[in-house]
Structure 1
Amino acid sequence: MSAASDTISGGIGGVGLLDRERIVARPGFNRWLVPPAALAIHLCIGMAYGFSVFWLPLSRAVGIDQPVACADLNLVTALFTTSCDWRVADLGWIYTLFFVLLGCSAAIWGGWLERAGPRKAGVVSALCWCGGIAVAAVGVITHQLWLMWLGAGVIGGIGLGLGYISPVSTLIKWFPDRRGMATGMAIMGFGGGAMIGAPLANILMNIFKTPDSVGVWQTFLVMAAIYFVFMLGGAFGYRIPPAGWRPDGWTPPAAAGKAMITTRHVHLRDAHKTRQFWMIWLVLCLNVSAGIGVIGMASPMLQEIFGGRLLGQPELGFTSLSADQKTAIAAIAAGFAGLLSLFNIGGRFFWASLSDKIGRKNTYYTFFILGIVLYALAPTAAHMGNQVLFVLMFGIILSMYGGGFATIPAYLADIFGTQFVGAIHGRLLTAWATAGILGPVVVNYIREFQIDAGVPRDQVYDFTMYILAGMLVLGLIANTRVKPLADKWFMSEEEVAKLQAKSAAAQAGPSGSFGIGKGGFDGVALAAWAVVGIPILWGVWMTLQTTAALF
């Protein structure tokens, strides 16, 4: 990875158009230009959440109108068949690869990112994510599933990991006074990527479909091109503050007696040796496992629990509905999924910003305690037949799922310092990779077991909710074990100074503000925010139109 990126860097600018030293901010730079740069990347890679929009069209890529099913098809033969249509389950492995590779690549190359800087990492992310989608398009054209797995799943998954963590350390250093808000703004984009990408993909597939094509490979190529432009724009918009920079008039929180926020730094080589790292790992894994399980079952859960109630016919259970009625409630359930997406996005900004006021540990206490109550009461709300209360409860649950992602980088910075927070965050994302398997597997297998045991469809999720509440109890216990680190884990001032020397040598003038970071929402900043804000507003509007069917 490092050698490849160095080749790119040297080929473009000799002394490194992509190098970390090239992007140290100069006097007059406005720190409010950095969040939209991060959003530009996160909104693109966030389409990973929305890739399921391609599954049904791809499941009839050969038959076009109807899937060409083969009785002897299994997972291995599906990888190489050119005459049989793929099953949705075979395609769904791409989704699993996304998040496993995201966590693994973030852990493996997080340290490289800290040395190389966010611009180089952003460019490599764009090449991997967009290049992977292009390779997947070739897989669709040749009808080779293994090529789709390799392109979108593996290569694209590496791009996801690098793109996801590329802005974390940078934003925390630009906004030491508002760490949670800063990371919340960027990571909000990852939650919102599908909100924009999924309706865009539907529009493009309808434009490109013909009697001989479902329009997916053309959509892949167009979206890859659009994403590449946005991601490069984001990568070249990154700047890092000079060593020692801080906002004018801001005093480090340790001076105010906040013991949970350190002003010192832990080296990457030591972070995973601490108990605190693994407690925070459990905190993230258990919070995400519960939430991602709900995301995966949101649509069938609403349909099976409420059945005919969604159509104003409470006497009809799910199994009693006609095919047309099931189609109608599927559209309503799509609105439910869309509404959860909005809560997921909004929660990333709301909870992360709130954590700046109440502290990261207290924020996670809120997630776990409130989550336990909501999961435990969800079956009661379902049996009451109160779908508005049920939807509201799960909206809050999903807001805390998103908020957990957005708050965790600031939690790490509080405990381990900011010098290696991006790389430490990368290693912590293995918790996400684990949760991406654990949550859906627990939920899906419990559901199947309940159905096989003859449990009515409107009750098959009761036990699941109690299991998810139990996961949050374990997360609550882990959060109580997160304490300030002992002095032995922190680097000496001399070691920190040596690490920062290369960046300090590149800055124009002494440490301090010297006009950097000022400007607020001036004209340039507003223009940058408009570039990412307009697509977000369009995605919100499209989602609200779909959600309207729910009520």
Structure 2
Amino acid sequence: MTTSQGHAAGFLTRERIIARPGWSRWLIPPAALAVHLSIGQAYAWSVFKTPLEKGLNISGVASSLPFQLGIVMLGLSAAVFGTRVDRNGPRWAMLVSSACFVTGFLIAALGVWTRQYWLVVLGYGGVGGIGLGIGYISPVSTLIKWFPDRPGMATGIAIMGFGGGALIAAPWSASMLSAFGATGNTPDPDGIALTFLIMGLAYAVFMSAGWLLIRVPADDWRPAGWDPATRKTGKLITTGGVSAANAIKTPQFWLLWVVLCFNVTAGIGILEKAAPIFSDFFAGSNPAASFAAAAAGFAALLSLANMLGRFVWSSASDVIGRKNIYRMYLGVGAVLYLVIELTTNANKVLFLICAMLILSFYGAGFATAPAYLRDLFGTYEVGAIHGRLLTAWSVAGVLGPMIVNAIADAHRDEAGPARYTTSFIIMIVLLVVGFVANELIKPVDPRWHEKDGTAPEVGAGADTGEVNR
């Protein structure tokens, strides 16, 4: 290796980014947000669907492929590269994520410019999807180590960014597409390509702020006034550490996999068809001119609930415990679906409240999962374990929309809420199964803990009280 290569590698190593004394841990959430707000653009893909369909003369199914492949690659890359992310450190991971995510936009721009749509799928979905997965997990273990006293709040801040990225990307993308003549009945494909290009370059700058700012705490660092030795721990909170390879051999991992998969399935089914569901439930209750705006407003409110739930409920889990908060996500979620089933379209306000709470639990399930993993398996390879857990998202991302769409299509001759009755009953059953899986989670057997003394790290024994029962 040449001297320049060695210096470049050194710049990215974990040892190079150990924080000096006095470094504020509150600089770490903004670093994580710089990445998560960027990769959260994936939730705004729908803005490009119609321009691509009309501009490149492709079908609606084809226009969904980049997003669907991106979500699949998110789960797969998080699982495959999770251990390397933990080993090489957050700066390396966030830089690789930035490179893949930005390159995905540039390849997509080239694909539209040359009218080769397969390049859009490969770039945005394939290469960009790898960036999604690595970027999603890259700051998790770092945040948990900086905030051993409030891990749920810390990861909630970052993962809230992924849910909120679309709130920035959607209007920004729409305004550029309009300015470059890429909207209307005859959109200019070159305008779509230019939009991809500008977004890629802008995200390169924004995400660079994240990997340049990120730091890891020194081994002996503790938050001011926090002493794990003098505080109690919950029954589920380990003081050891479990490797990613061993974690997937435990029943706790697979029970939590079921919990996350079914919680996400129940939420994404509504999120993916928000406007059509609102239309089927309340068609005729508004003048035609205002009804489309009402349906779009409903979808926006659900996105807002998805984002806020990631921070609010995940932060609450630091007080009441991870197992208890998932009891709420799953148990209360099932009750809310039942309320919608029983009241159908009798009360629009009640329907809106129930749907927003369900979506807040959907987002919170993502944000609370890393802290739950940290409680169960320690901080040793929590990023890698989190990566493997995200395969539940890949499954749910297919399962939820498939259930809702297939059943709605099968009942297309029926009007109103009846099109979704069976779907919502299935969601109730899935949430109940998830609730049972959560109840079966017990402390991890110490025989799975690492024995070489390297496993217990900063925050391994954080106090959340005797709440994880």
Q: TM-score, normalised by structure 1?
A: 0.80
Amino acid at match of 1:444: N
Q: Residues 157-306 of structure 1: matches in 2 within 5 Å?
A: 157-209=129-181, 213-214=188-189, 215-252=191-228, 255-306=231-282
**Which residue identity is paired with 1:442?**
I
Give the match's secondary structure for 1:227. helix
CA 1:254–1:395: 2 relative to 1, 3 Å: farther
Call closer, same or farther: CA 1:287–1:456 in 2, change over 3 Å: same
Gaps of 5+ in 2: 460-469
1:341-360 per-position Cα deviation (integer Å, ceiling 9, x unaligned): 11111100000000000000
Q: Give 2:446's aligned residue.
A: 487
2:26 matched to which residue of 1?
Answer: 32
C-alpha distance in 1, partners of 2:341/2:292? Answer: 21
Letter in 1 for 2:54: R
Aligned-pair CA distance for 1:252: 2.3
**2:467 matched residue in structure 1:** none
Asked whether 1:117 is paired with 2:117, we answer: no
Given residue 188 of structure 2, which amino acid in structure 1 is its aligned partner? S
* 1:45 match: secondary structure: helix
**Equivalent in the alignment of 1:403:** 364
Taking structure 1 as reference, are residues 253 and 398 closer, same or farther at Cα in structure 2, changes over 3 Å only? farther
State how far apart, in whole Å, the 2-side matches of 1:458 and 1:280 are: 32
Distance 2:187 2:84 in 1: 45
Give the match's secondary structure for 2:58.
coil
Asked if structure 1 preserves the Cα contact closer than 8 Å seen for 2:69 and 2:126, the reply is: yes
Contact preservation (8 Å) 2:242, 2:455:
no
Q: In the TM superposition, what whole-angstrom CA distance separates every residue of 1:21-65 from its partner, at most 9, and x where no partner exists?
A: 110111121100000000010000001011110001111115xxx
Over residues 272-315 of structure 1, what are the superposed CA-to-partner deviations in whole Å (9 max), with x where a residue is unaligned?
Answer: 0000000000010000011111111111000111101033xxxx
Q: Deviations over 1:157-192 (max 9, x none)?
A: 000000000100000000000000000000000000
Q: How does 1:353-392 map to 2 (within 5 A)?
A: 353-384=315-346, 386-392=347-353
Identity of aligned residues (%): 49
Deviations 1:416-452 (A, max 9, x none): 000100010001000000111111111111111112x
Shift of 1:10: 5.8
User: 1:24, 1:186 → 2: CA distance?
Assistant: 20
Partner of 2:416: 457
Structure 2 counterpart SS, 1:460: helix
Q: Which deviates more, 422-431 or 258-267?
A: 258-267
Counterpart amino acid of residue 361 in structure 2: M
Shift of 1:245: 2.0
Does the 8 A contact of 2:379 with 2:455 survive in 1? no
- Answer whether contact 1:130 1:224 (CA < 8 A) is retained: yes
Structure 1 residues 142, 56: closer, same or farther in 2, change over 3 A? same
Deviations 1:505-531 (A, max 9, x none): xxxxxx99xxxxxxxxxxxxxxxxxxx
Q: Are 2:128 and 1:156 equivalent residues in the alignment?
A: yes
CA distance in 2, matches of 1:270, 1:254: 29
After superposition, where does 1:75-90 map in structure 2 within 5 Å? Answer: 85-90=57-62
Quote the Cα distance in structure 2 between the aligned partners of 1:190 and 1:470.
28
C-alpha contact 1:306 1:382 (8 A) present in aligned 2: no
Q: Does 1:49 align with 2:52?
A: no
**Counterpart residue identity of residue 307, structure 1:** A
Letter in 2 for 1:492: K
Query: Using the alignment, how far apart are the partners of 1:378 and 1:496 within structure 2?
Result: 47
Query: Equivalent residue of 1:461, what SS?
Result: helix
Query: Any conservation in 2 of the 1:254–1:262 contact (CA below 8 Å)?
Result: no
- Residue identity matched to 1:456: A
Instruction: Map residues 100-115 of structure 1 onto 2, 5 A cutoff.
Output: 100-115=72-87
- Paired with 2:4 and 2:278, the residues of 1 have a C-alpha distance of 54
1:339 aligns with 2:301: yes
Q: Secondary structure at the match of 2:253?
A: helix
Unaligned runs of 5+ in 1: 1-5, 63-84, 312-324, 501-510, 513-551
Asked if the contact 1:253/1:261 (under 8 Å) is kept, the reply is no
Tell me the equivalent position of 1:503.
Answer: none
